[in-house]
Amino acid sequence: MAKARSAKRGRRSKTSQSRRRSKTAANGSRRDDAIGLLKSDHREVEHLFDSFESARSQERKQEIAAKICEALKAHTTIEEEIFYPAFLEATDETDLHHEAEIEHAGATHLIEEIESAGPDDHFEARITVLREMIRHHVKEEEQRGGMFSEAQSSDMDLEELGRQLRERKLELLGEAAEDMTASRRRPPPQGRAREVRER
């Protein structure tokens, strides 16, 4: 009987360990903590860039480019508002922090160009350059000795930060969706409306 209870406890222990492992990525970060969430954003954007490259029609490329810009704007905002300040306070790693902020500023400027210029002659070139900038930034953050590994070695509460990042991201994406809906409902300029009525 004692053996049976012991075996049962052993099975429960293994199940519990398996559940804990299932929530943990191969690199040691939990999927729902700050690092797991930010890395998931990185993978999502990489997938969007791949989709852009394989898209054939200009219309489809524009749709994907808009998704890339929205995803990156939400990601950079939650990092700058929540993760970066917490990282700097916990680690005092000013070099990593300042370099990341400067890289964000460069990407943000290019995103603004992409959104304002639309599908002009430099449209695809801008997306290509943006991809290279993001690829470099992701490598810097995720490599050994980078911001993410330093954060994991610090006393940062990554689970609580993950909750804050997730909430703010949902808020930002909701605002972006509202802006898009409003722009679709917006009436055409007065001159254009008059032309339509006259026809």
Q: Looking at residue 61, what is its pLDDT? A: 96
Number of C-beta neighbours around residue 101 at 10 A = 14
The model carries a pTM of 0.75
3-class state of residue 94 by DSSP: helix
Say which residues have a Cβ less than 8 Å from residue 31's Cβ, sequence separation at least 6.
Answer: 23, 24, 25, 37, 40
- Give the chain's residues under pLDDT 70: 1-31, 177-199
Q: Looking at residue 119, what is its pLDDT? A: 86
Q: What is the pLDDT of residues 138-183, one digit of tens each?
A: 999 999 999 999 999 999 999 999 999 999 999 998 887 666 565 5
Backbone phi and psi for residue 52, each to the nearest 5 degrees, phi listed first: -60, -45
